[in-house]
Chain A
């Protein structure tokens, strides 16, 4: 009751929409070839659907199903029909409307990615396993930063039991944000629990179906396997109304032939096989075209996220999703660097701008992790917020109109004149230009006199200040929280607190 009333009181504003149509790595012909090759794979090789209940849907639709091996071969007409049924736009709800993400082709949205197993301690600089306070702080920070739209669990709290980590993770996140949570559980059994908890948060049974403020991220095993556990999660998630991301994540040369083209074909088949499953189950259910192509460094077998190929591939994924008109889930902005150094800066800058320009709808990794997703530095979120802002400025573009061309001002001020004190300069001084909170543009003397401020140190200071001072717009009612904790006794006493609230 209380929660609903408070929700109605909050101001209704909407997110500004930025569209990225500027970078299109593939030609129409290339996309057709990838699409055609994918259909051949569906028809001639098939995919392995390990979870029997999911296979039933394929069977019913007319696929050739081998229940012993799990392999399903399906005709392209059925695949194309499912592509058509997958909605081209849908809403990923926040707990308040102003955080709603209205998904549609080309729209640039992003956020954190899952899920680091190490953290650079924000106060001591120590490299250590993360804890529940770190997850809460990271979520809180993302709630505060304007350019984080969708929040994944940024780190795995190492004190959680291996058997029951999920409820703690979601609870800690719900306590710290009213934005859309887009993250997956470790166990299929958790889906029902998350649904129950979400309804308790919203104040009414089945309220979640009207305001699904959580998307589930599942996964597949390359090449061509829909894993049992993840598919069970996916199926249950669809039944309960969660939007689904089920990313294909092949490594080029390991789980697909070692070419970019082949990797895109595999990404396509695997992205579509989840979509087929979902649309056969429930036509029109919101789901993403999800693929996270990764590269290998063949010199030593390292996984790499931040390479030109990886960026291009993820942008190609986005482009193909636009061809099918299904919102995309991909990665750009994730870094291979272990620390916040020059390498990180380059990786974030290039990845984020390319992803934005290609219309990345769910760019998990724009609020990047380090070490290919294994390490998190919370202060990096503040940096990411800036880089994403700059990318959005590029997407906003250059406005050319009579007023801005300002011929009359040229005439008035004339040859050799100054325009700094002209009204038109002042009028647009705040909007034509993006103002950085972190980049230092002073001359040496000023910078030197200020103590040679260090970029990462500034980011850290800002991050700590935000974590300490920011509160999400909705706080859980005490009774609601007590009821949730009673229902799920595995929730740690401090779940939801940042390290400064211990």
Chain B
């Protein structure tokens, strides 16, 4: 079921029209469209298209981020109206930058793109010690832990986290993925994690992980 207003919502996400999204959603609600429809056929459909265009090189990072901002704004408007079960999260992800490292632009971009792909994402910050990461995993029970490092010196902390998770027995259900400039597929293999080469690759990997 689609109609012009829903299509306009999708286009507003594509265009990153942050000032238009709320009036459009209100209009859609007036026209008796369900919050679920607005979410799936408007907001998520828009972000999926953004993801595809980004992968093809047709959309650029700043444009993607503003599209994501637009989608988030729309999400906030309809969240209270969604019935539980309306949002089928694909999976839950905790994102974090490891201890000693303050870089988070990349992991934030990954988070935004994962949200756009229907994941629930919680970012727990930068410079987070292994023990605190493990605590967060215990508390939130995510499907995926996504760790980021920008420095070769902090990369080693990723192994520490994986080892600690094994010790705590949390590694059974949880899958770990890593990314960031110094990380490599080889290193990921060595520590028993998945590797995401860039933000859109990370979404692809996360989807594959969930499917397994």
Q: Hey, which bits of chain A sit against chain B, CB under 8 A?
A: 418, 420-423, 425-426, 429-430, 442-446, 449
Contact = CB atoms under 8 A, between A and B. Distances in A.
Contact of B105 (A418, A422, A444, A449): A418
B60 A446 contact: no
A164 to B, nearest CB: 48
A443 B181 contact: yes
B63 A418 contact: no
B184 A426 contact: no
B195 A423 contact: no
24 contacts: A418-B105, A418-B108, A420-B61, A420-B65, A420-B109, A421-B65, A421-B66, A421-B68, A422-B62, A425-B62, A426-B16, A426-B63, A426-B65, A429-B60, A430-B60, A443-B181, A443-B197, A443-B198, A444-B184, A445-B184, A445-B185, A445-B197, A446-B197, A446-B201
Given A426-B65, A442-B198, A445-B184, 15 more contacts: A418-B105, A420-B61, A420-B65, A421-B68, A422-B62, A423-B66, A425-B62, A426-B60, A426-B63, A429-B61, A429-B62, A429-B63, A430-B60, A445-B197, A446-B201
What are the 9 A-B residue pairs with the smallest beta carbon separation, nearest first? A421-B65, A426-B62, A425-B62, A429-B62, A445-B197, A446-B197, A429-B60, A426-B66, A420-B65
Contacts of B181: 443
A445 B66 contact: no
Contacts, number: 39
Nearest to A425: B62
Contacts of B65: 420-421, 426
Interface in B41-70: 60-63, 65-66, 68-69
Interface in B153-174: none
Contacts of B108: 418
Contacts of A442: 198
What's the interface size class on B, roughly?
10 to 19
B156 to A, nearest CB: 19
A426 B68 CA distance: 13
Contacts of B184: 444-445
A59 B63 CA distance: 69
B138 to A, nearest CB: 30
Nearest to B104: A418
B99 to A, nearest CB: 19
Given A445-B184, A445-B185, A420 B62 contact: yes
A356 to B, nearest CB: 26
A442 B198 CA distance: 9
Query: A420, A423, A446: which has the most chain B beta carbons within 10 Å?
Result: A420
A418 to B, nearest CB: 6
A389 B109 CA distance: 30
Nearest to B57: A435
B158 to A, nearest CB: 16
A421 B18 CA distance: 12
Query: A429, A444, A446: which has the most chain B beta carbons within 10 Å?
Result: A429
Contacts of B60: 426, 429-430
A423 B18 CA distance: 10
Nearest to B183: A445
